[in-house]
Structure 1
Amino acid sequence: MLTAPFLASSSFDEFQDAISTHFAVPETALSALRSEAGLRSGSPPAPTVVESSVAGRRGLHPGEHWLEGVYLAISPAWSRVEAGRLIIGTVAIHADTMQRLQISYSENLFNRQVRMSGQLLSDGRTAQSALACSYTQRLFLLALNLPTLPANLIGGILSGAAVHDPDARAAACRILLLRAHGGQAEDLVARTGYLDADGALVESELAALGYRRDAATVALGSGIVDFLNAPSSSGLCEAKLKDLAPLERIIDRIPSSEFLQKSASWH
C-alpha cells in the first residue's frame, strides 16, 4: 500500500518503482504517462521546492537512497542449542563514494560479534547481497523484497551454513529488518543476541527502536513472531509480499518518538 505522503512527494521514477513491486506495468503505459507529464523517457524531473522540503522532513539528504539507514534484524536462530528462539542482529545500509549501496550485518554468536558485509544490488523489485563473513570467510546470501517508503520494515530470506555447527548445515530462514529511528548501528550492538519467540519481547525491541508503544505495537510484535515461524505449505523457505504487507501497514501507522518530536517542533 502506498501512503499518502509518498504519493504526494514522490518523483515519477519513485512512483514507478513502487508500483512495479506489486504490478507488472507495461512499458508502453509508463511511456504514455511520462509523455502526458511532459517528461523525457528515463529522465526524472528535477526536484521541486516542495519535494526537497518533504525529503528534508524524512531525514533524507540529496542523493540519499531511501533504503539507507540502520535496522534491527530478527530471524529464527540456526543454533541447535537455541532452537525455537530468535536471534537479534544489526544491519546498516549506506551508499559508498560511487553511490553503490553497501550492506553490513552483525550478530552476537556466543559472545563473539560476527560481521558480514557486501554490495546490495537491486532490480527495482528486490534487493540481493552476497555477504562475506569476516569470521568464517563463508558467503551468506540475502534476498529482500523492496518495501514502499518509508521502508520501516524489510522482509526476505537469509541463507548460508550454520556457523557454530559440526556439520556446517546448509540453512535458510525468513528475516525482518526493522528501521531504527534516531540511532546508530553501534547503539544497537548491546541488543544483539538470542531472544525468546515472544511477541511481548519483540514489542520491547520495537520500543527501543523509537516506536511508540500502543495497541498497534502489541499486534506487530505478535505478527513478527508469527511471520518468522510460519511453516510453508510449498516446502520452500519463502517470504511472500502478501504476508509482509500487513506488517508493513501496521509499522507505518506507528509514529516514532523522533517523528513525534519533529511534529511538535513544526507546530
Structure 2
Amino acid sequence: MPQNAYKWLSGKAVPRASSVYEDWARVLGGMLTAPFLASSSFDEFQDAVGAHFAVPETALSALRSEAGLRSGTLPALAVVGSSVTRLNGRHPAEHWLEGVYLAISPAWSRAEAGRLIIGTVAIHADAMQRLQIRYSENLFSRQVLMSGQLRSDGRTAQSALACSYTQRLFFLALNMPTPPANLISGILSGAAVHDPDARATACRILLLRAHGSHAEDLVARTGYLDADGALVESELAALGYRGDAERAALGTGIVDFLNAPSPSGLSEAKITDLAPLERIIDRISPSECLQKSASWH
C-alpha cells in the first residue's frame, strides 16, 4: 500500500517479508543480495550501486532531501524506501534478530552420527542495548547452556559462546537475514562436549523462529532427531507453521541444506542457498506474523 511505502521511507516501519528485498534485488539486476538491501545504510547502498551504475550526484542529493537525511546519517536503503535507523548505538538490522528460535544442526557425537540435534536459541538486548544470545542443547539427558554477546556489522552476526558445563568456547557465525528473520543460517564450530579426542568440528546450523514462544517452552523439544524431512516437518508444525505441502517441502529442504556437501571443501552456509527455504517459511509462518507483514509494523 502507498502509505506503507511512505512509512518505510520515513523510518516508521520495516517490511516484514523477505520477498520485498528479493524483488528489489531482481530490479537491480541481482548484483546485490536481499540481506544487504535490508540492512545497508544509504551511503553503503550508494557506493554499491555506484559500482555498477552511473548515478548523478544531483539525484542522490534529491533523494537525501526527500528522505530528510543529513549528510553522514545512515538509515538503511533510503534510495529504495527502507526505514531502519541506528538506535542506541546498535546496528539497524539487529532489532529483527531478537526472539526465540528452534535450532537444528547435524549431531557431532559419534554415537549419534548421521542424526540431527535440536536446540533452542534466545536472542535479546541487555540493559546496555547489546545483543545477548543463549544456546541450549539436551545432551544425553543433560541440559547444556552456552551464552555470549552477539555482535553484528549488518552483514553477519557472530558470538563466542561460553559453555557453562565444559567452560569451552563455541563460535557461532550467522548470516544476517531479511525481516522477519523466520529462518537464519550459519556455522557453529568448536569441539563436541562428549568426545575423548576433542575433535575440532564445524557444521551448518539453522534457526527457526518460534513465534510467541519462550525458550522454556521449547526445552521439551530439544534432543536428537533422525535426519528425516517428515520429522523436521513435525517440529515445524509444533512451532505453528501452516500448510501441509509447503511445510513438508520445507522439512525436506532443511535436511538437504544441513547435510549438503561443500564443493570448496570449506564448511560454509551461503545465504543464496537459503533463499528458496526462506520464501517458503515466510509464506507458512503463523497468522500473527502474517498480520504484521501485511501492516508493516
Answer whether contact 1:69 1:94 (CA < 8 A) is retained.
Answer: yes
Match of 1:25 among 45, 67, 72: 45
The CA RMSD measured in Å over matched residues stands at: 3.2
Question: Which letter maps to 1:180?
Answer: A
Normalised by the length of structure 1, the TM-score is 0.82
Give the Å deviation of 1:26.
Answer: 3.8
Question: Which letter maps to 2:244?
Answer: D
- Work out the CA distance in 2 between the residues paired with 1:183 and 1:235: 37
| 1:203-222 paired onto structure 2 within 5 Å | 203-222=233-252
Worse-superposed segment, 75-84 or 5-14: 5-14
Give the Å deviation of 1:141.
Answer: 0.3
Report Cα offsets for 1:139-173 as digits up to 9, x if no partner.
Answer: 00000001100000000000001110010110000
Report Cα offsets for 1:102-131 as digits up to 9, x if no partner.
Answer: 000000000010000000000110000000
Report Cα offsets for 1:207-231 as digits up to 9, x if no partner.
Answer: 1111113211111000000000000
Give the Å deviation of 1:257.
Answer: 4.5
Answer whether contact 1:210 1:258 (CA < 8 A) is retained.
Answer: no
Match of 2:100 among 70, 86, 90: 70
| 1:188-199 paired onto structure 2 within 5 Å | 188-199=218-229
Q: Tell me which residue corresponds to 1:238.
A: 268
Answer whether contact 1:84 1:197 (CA < 8 A) is retained.
Answer: yes
Q: Measured at CA, do residues 10 and 169 of structure 1 come closer, stay the same or move farther in structure 2, by a change above 3 Å? A: farther
Question: Which letter maps to 1:89?
Answer: G
Normalised by the length of structure 2, the TM-score is 0.74
Worse-superposed segment, 78-87 or 209-218: 209-218
Q: Tell me which residue corresponds to 1:176.
A: 206
Report Cα offsets for 1:67-102 as digits up to 9, x if no partner.
Answer: 110000000000000000000000000000011000
Match of 1:116 among 146, 168, 185: 146
Runs of 5+ consecutive residues of structure 1 not aligned to the other structure: 46-50, 52-63
Q: Measured at CA, do residues 42 and 260 of structure 1 come closer, stay the same or move farther in structure 2, by a change above 3 Å? A: closer
Q: Tell me which residue corresponds to 1:142.
A: 172
Give the Å deviation of 1:255.
Answer: 3.3
The answer to whether 1:42 aligns with 2:73 is yes
The alignment covers a number of residue pairs equal to 244
